[in-house]
Amino acid sequence: MKRLESMTRYRPIHVQALFLGAGSPAADTGYLYSAENEFRGEGLALLGALGIDCQEKSTQAVLTDFQRRGYLLTYVLECPSQSEDGQPTQQLLERGLATTVVRIRRSLKPKKVILLGGELDPFVDRFTKEAVGAELVLSEGGCAFRPEQLAPGSLEALIRVTPVPSL
């Protein structure tokens, strides 16, 4: 529940770019919205790839910037549920995908969807066919981006969205 509250706090009113991973990190320290003193893991890689500077800023200021840009990070499997190798199982992802697609279409309504992690590669065609109502942004090979391989600023130009004006 705490993770859901944290994500909801920083959910933009209008989602410009939805970053969708397979499964939420098992440790709170790796979850973007649970960061306390510093960002780690996938969250840190995503912020860097978006050109969001984390140095000398509070985590709240960074998350507010992420929100202001209209970005949201979520997962097919919101609760950590992994196999022995630490990855979400394909069966769990298959079951969670239908609900996720409906949530994207009806509630989140992003302009762009960016898939993160190789676990989602088998579902790229499904995302394309299901027409989630958003542009699907994929890596050059037509597959999901690998968070650990994202270069600084690499996603920033690909998803170029106009920030939502502050109220």
pLDDT score, position 111: 92
pLDDT at 1 over 70: no
In a domain, 164, yes or no: no
CA nearest 35: which of 50, 16, 54? 54
Domain limits at 74? 2-159
Cβ distance 27 to 55 under 8 Å?
A: no
- Please report whether residue 14 resides in a domain: yes
Q: What is the CATH number of the domain that holds 43?
A: 3.40.470
* Tens of pLDDT, residues 24-74: 877 777 778 877 778 888 888 999 999 998 888 898 999 999 999 999 999
pLDDT band for position 110 (50/70/90)? very high
- Average pLDDT of the chain is 83
pLDDT bracket for residue 167 (50, 70, 90): very low
Specify if 167 maps to a domain: no
Q: Taking 80 as the threshold, does the pLDDT of residue 88 lie above it?
A: no
72 lies in a domain? yes
The reported pLDDT for the residue numbered 61 is 92
Q: Is 165 a member of any domain?
A: no
Which of the two residues, 36 and 135, has the higher pLDDT score?
A: 135
Phi, psi of 51 (to 5 degrees): 75, 25
Cβ within 8 Å of residue 4, ≥6 positions away: 78
pLDDT score recorded for residue 73: 94
Please indicate, yes or no, if residue 71 is contained in any of the structural domains: yes
Domain count across the chain? 1
In degrees, rounded to 5, the angle at the alpha carbon of residue 24 between the alpha carbons of residues 19 and 29 is 105
What secondary structure, in 3-state letters, does the chain show? CHHHHHHHHCCCCCCCEEEEEEECCCCHHHCHHHCCCCCCHHHHHHHHHCCCCCCCCCHHHHHHHHHHCCEEEEEEECCCCCCCCCCCCHHHHHHHHHHHHHHHHHHHCCCEEEEECHHHHHHHHHHHHHCCCCEEECCCCCCCECHHHCCCCHHHHHHCCCCCCCC
Model confidence band, residue 131 (pLDDT cutoffs 50, 70, 90) = low
pLDDT mean over 148-157: 88
